[in-house]
Structure 1
Amino acid sequence: MDAATIGALIEQGLPGARANVRGDDGVHFEAEVVASQFAGKLPLARHRLVYATLGDLMGGAIHALALKTLTPDESAARGP
């Protein structure tokens, strides 16, 4: 598994999302995901949305995925 594939799967599963995924060892990854679907949701619900895009890969090909989930407004407020 590679970071680009994970990012593409997340973006396909959450239309309009931006996913920046990093990970060098092929099993441990970290991702920042910006998606309008996160609006009004608590962090756990946001993470579940992301995990749902990856299905059975979680806990299998993807051993660990650290997530930072933001709405577009939250991302813009952080600045560049």
Structure 2
Amino acid sequence: MINLELVETMIKEKLPDAQVTVRDLTGGGDHLEAIVVSAEFEGKSRVKQHQLVYGALQEAMASEAIHALALKTYTPQAWQATGQLV
């Protein structure tokens, strides 16, 4: 099981401006959902956005501390359009 705050910190180290919300989907700590909002995503495809986040979590995913990750990425403008808060 990985600490959710650690996952958030790892993402923010790669994307310092990011607003990140991480939650445990199953209660076991290895199936997570992350919502990441960052200006770094501007002009990048969804695949490239996800690759940036996966790159930040590479070590945790390789060690299987994170078994599955549901990932939602947004630019600040796209996030604002959803009307949700991080």
TM-score by length of 1: 0.92
Match of 1:35 among 38, 45, 54: 38
Divergent runs of 4+, >2 A: none
Q: How many residues align?
A: 80
Question: Matches of residues 12-27 of structure 1 in structure 2 within 5 Å?
Answer: 12-23=13-24, 24-27=27-30
> What is aligned with 1:3?
4
Q: Give the TM-score normalised by the residue count of structure 2.
A: 0.86
- % identical equivalent positions: 43
* 1:22-51 Cα deviation digits (max 9, x unpaired): 003111000100000111111111110001
Gaps of 5+ in 2: none
Superposition CA RMSD, Å: 1.1
Point out where structure 1 has 5 or more consecutive residues left out of the alignment: none
